[in-house]
Chains A and B, each alone.
Chain A
Amino acid sequence: MTRYLITGARIADPASDRLYEADLRIADGFIAGIGDLDPSGEEEVIDAHGRLLAPALIDMRAHSATPGGAASAERLSQTASAAASGGIGTLILAPNGACGLSSPEDIDWLDAQALTLPVRVHGAGLATANGELNEIGLMLRAGALYLSDGGQPIADSRLVRRALSYAAGFEAWVSLRPEDAHLIADTVAHESDLSSRLGLPARPGVSERFGVERDTGLAELTGGRLILDRITTADGIAAARAARQRGLEVAITVPVSHLVFNEVDAGNFDARYRLDPPLRSEEDRLALIDALARGVVDAVVSAHTAVGSVAKANPFADAVPGTTSLHALLPALLTLVETGQLDLLSALRPVTSGPADLLGLAQGRIEEGAPADLILIDPSAPVVLGDGAVRGGAKSAFAGRRLFGKILMSFIEGAIILQP
């Protein structure tokens, strides 16, 4: 295995909250040394002066073709390649309508596939189906990193209680999309002045707060470990913080799309911006950024969903929600840094040590002995995002966006998987 010595890089390590200049040695897939290092002569030296070295990203929520899912516009290998190009080193697929992962066999399948993929791929297991618990224990034993409601709120509070309670016995996290299932039924937009003028069926922001309140209440009741999945409103953030102040162990994730776009982006009925949850108000977007700056958010997720071009080729309300976003995760966050809204470590933490600490992963940090999952980046380089989509896929919501942050090189387990 090739050894590398990366010299003169500025190292950003959110785990230790440090930003410093040093050399870094990679050997046997791990970080073998950090400091003022001399070349040993048996390693490839990479001059990284003026570049930023950060942990490769960990994306806690993406979707791709998996057993039991509906037809996907993208194969798993394509999703993994897109993740690699986006600087993601660990990709966690979560079940949703189009992504299966509801049995231990599904998780095993994913593990087997992962062997041939350029990035680390793990799965989250679907906690319930048809009003009953799935085999939570066996899925966890097979390697599921957490459990999920499938991305849509479970209306039945008793079932949610049981899922949280059962998973608590394994100290496993349960990811719930906090929303009132009845208030959001048949809606496609955020309830606001804009959506009411457009005549779009819309859900009130308060529905997310109700969801947070119910789910944190049930976590309190059961002692369950709760991930509040894809919080998108100021109210939702406030309710989640209130639960934490009561001493509850709840994690918060935020979708990258909602850091970049607001409801006005969808205001011309552009189906590319038909997302779930729907794009919210500008106040909500700013509240999410503020929550990032305050360190309230554990993970920013891509929620990457490759929608087929046919499924998107409909009027806004009839288009399938979702967008490709693996290519946007890092630039979206670095743009907040470049524009002075966020400091570098706060921007990187929710895509590195944040999810790593939550799920007990060894990667996502730069320290001796940690896996050498690293990215070398130019954080200030302007980029124009493309589709991040495969042939036959719909145009990305991010296509054409001008952001900052270019990935120059990417290492997973000490091997270069991406270089110019």
Chain B
Amino acid sequence: MGRARFAYDFPHRNLLSVGALNPLDVSMLFKRAGEHFERNRTPDKKIDALRGLSQINLFFEPSTRTLASFELAGKRLGADVVNFSAGNASIKKGESLADTAETLAAMRPDLLVVRHASAGAAAFFAEVTGISTINAGDGAHEHPSQALLDTFTLTRRWGEIGGKRIAIVGDIAHSRVVRSNVSLMNLLNAEVRLCGPSTLLPANADRWGASVFHDLDEALEGCDAVMALRIQRERMGAGLIPSEREYAALYGLTHDRLELANPDCVVMHPGPMNRGVEIDAALADDPERSVILDQVESGVAVRMAILEMLAGQAPNMRYDEGEQ
């Protein structure tokens, strides 16, 4: 008798935090995302994997690209997609978020995509409604689909991200993208560096599984990819950084600075960009360096895979060693 053949069923109904995923989950998601990616480049983009299912995109914070990306993803899978941009309207009306959640749940959607300014909000929706929930950004906590699309972009380019060195530069403290990315890149054995002024870096970020730098030139040394984060203008008013000019001079990515990284280092940005602040316009538009539009393109494919697999409707819900 040989050893039992290993088989594994994708177990997740929610995507709330990258921490819940193991490397096999990620590779199953990426395998399916790769198929969507190719199909999205053909004229016939639509399939009916989620036909009959309803998806509510519940955005309590303004968003254009993430919302559009999830909406397209749902529609290309054949789901009925409704966008619900709430601001904080219901809270102002004195309704608790649990009331809002229960009201929406009563409409019997099958998938919820939630963005909210408070950490833990997506998990809150998942718990209150019991409906499959995707965290599309909860406060400064996590944004797992963004991390998955970032890593998918790099994986497509490199084959795998294990052993690569990736720097993330900017407002680490307030970034949900960073928290998800550090978890995911660690999970896949990449080396992560975080860089920014001390006021934008939590004191204990070195315990997240990343090394911490305050000097961009040092951080960039030997990097295979560097991700610039959007710097929010309100951070300056709050006294966290002195000026846009100083930030751009110290932490702005330019062609010159990139000389310190590996020769084929790529540049990423989760968007929307402040050109000339965290990233030089010429660099953002350089097709040799910038994968920013690849990230956006990957985003739809990765979100399709996420929606499909959480709904249990992907063809590869089971990993079977013997079939690989």
Binding site for B on A (CB under 8 A): 192-193, 196-201, 268-269, 310-311, 313-318
Contact = CB atoms under 8 A, between A and B. Distances in A.
Contact of A193 (B96, B140, B207): B207
B204 A316 contact: no
A199 B204 contact: no
14 contacts: A192-B204, A196-B173, A196-B205, A197-B179, A198-B120, A199-B176, A200-B119, A269-B123, A313-B98, A313-B99, A316-B120, A317-B118, A317-B120, A318-B97
Interface in B150-200: 173, 176, 179
Given A313-B96, A313-B128, A316-B119, 20 more contacts: A192-B204, A193-B204, A196-B204, A196-B205, A198-B119, A198-B120, A199-B119, A200-B139, A269-B119, A269-B123, A311-B96, A313-B97, A314-B97, A315-B119, A315-B120, A315-B121, A315-B138, A316-B118, A316-B120, A317-B118
Nearest 5 pairs of A and B residues by beta carbon: A269-B120, A199-B140, A313-B98, A199-B141, A313-B96
Contacts of A314: 91, 96-98, 118, 124
Contacts of B142: 199
B202 interface: yes
B179 A315 contact: no
A265 B72 CA distance: 39
A314 to B, nearest CB: 5
B205 A315 contact: no
A97 B118 CA distance: 23
Contacts, number: 65
Most buried by B among A192, A200, A314: A314
A315 B173 CA distance: 20
B28 to A, nearest CB: 26
B208 interface: yes
A197 B139 contact: no
B interface, size bucket: 20 to 34
Nearest to B176: A199
Contacts of A311: 96
Interface in B92-126: 96-99, 116, 118-121, 123-124
A198 B123 CA distance: 12
Contacts of A318: 91, 97, 118
B119 A310 contact: no
Contacts of A268: 123
Contacts of A200: 119, 139-141
Contacts of A313: 96-99, 128
A346 B48 CA distance: 69
A314 B176 CA distance: 20
A197 B208 contact: yes
Contacts of B118: 314-318
A198 to B, nearest CB: 6
A196 B178 CA distance: 12
A315 B124 contact: yes
Interface of B: 91, 96-99, 116, 118-121, 123-124, 128, 138-142, 173, 176, 179, 202-205, 207-208
A198 B141 contact: yes
A196 B98 contact: no
Nearest to A314: B97
Most buried by B among A197, A311, A317: A197
Contacts of A316: 118-120, 124
A317 B203 CA distance: 21
A269 B205 contact: no
Contacts of A310: 96, 98-99
Given A192-B204, A310-B96, A314-B97, A269 B179 contact: no
Given A197-B208, A199-B141, A269 B124 contact: yes
Given A196-B205, A197-B179, A199-B139, A315 B116 contact: yes
Contacts of B202: 196
Contacts of B128: 313
A201 to B, nearest CB: 8
A183 to B, nearest CB: 13
Contacts of B99: 310, 313
Contacts of A269: 119-120, 123-124
Nearest to B140: A199
Contact of B97 (A192, A198, A201, A315): A315
A201 B139 CA distance: 9
A199 B182 CA distance: 13
Contacts of A197: 179, 208
Nearest to A194: B204
A196 B207 CA distance: 10
A199 B119 CA distance: 6
Contacts of B121: 315
Contacts of B204: 192-193, 196
Nearest to B175: A199
Contacts of A201: 140
A193 B118 CA distance: 18
Given A192-B204, A316-B118, A318-B91, A199 B97 contact: no
A282 B123 CA distance: 25
Contacts of B96: 310-311, 313-314
A315 to B, nearest CB: 4
Nearest to B139: A199
Contacts of B124: 269, 314-316
A386 B140 CA distance: 34
Contacts of B123: 268-269
A311 B208 CA distance: 33
A277 to B, nearest CB: 19
Nearest to B182: A197
A310 B118 CA distance: 17
A199 B128 CA distance: 21
Contacts of B97: 313-315, 318
Contacts of A317: 118-120, 139
Nearest to B142: A199
Contacts of A192: 204
Contacts of B120: 198, 269, 315-317
Contacts of A315: 97, 116, 118-121, 124, 138
Nearest to A200: B119
Contacts of A196: 173, 202-205
A199 B204 CA distance: 12
A182 to B, nearest CB: 11
A316 B124 CA distance: 9
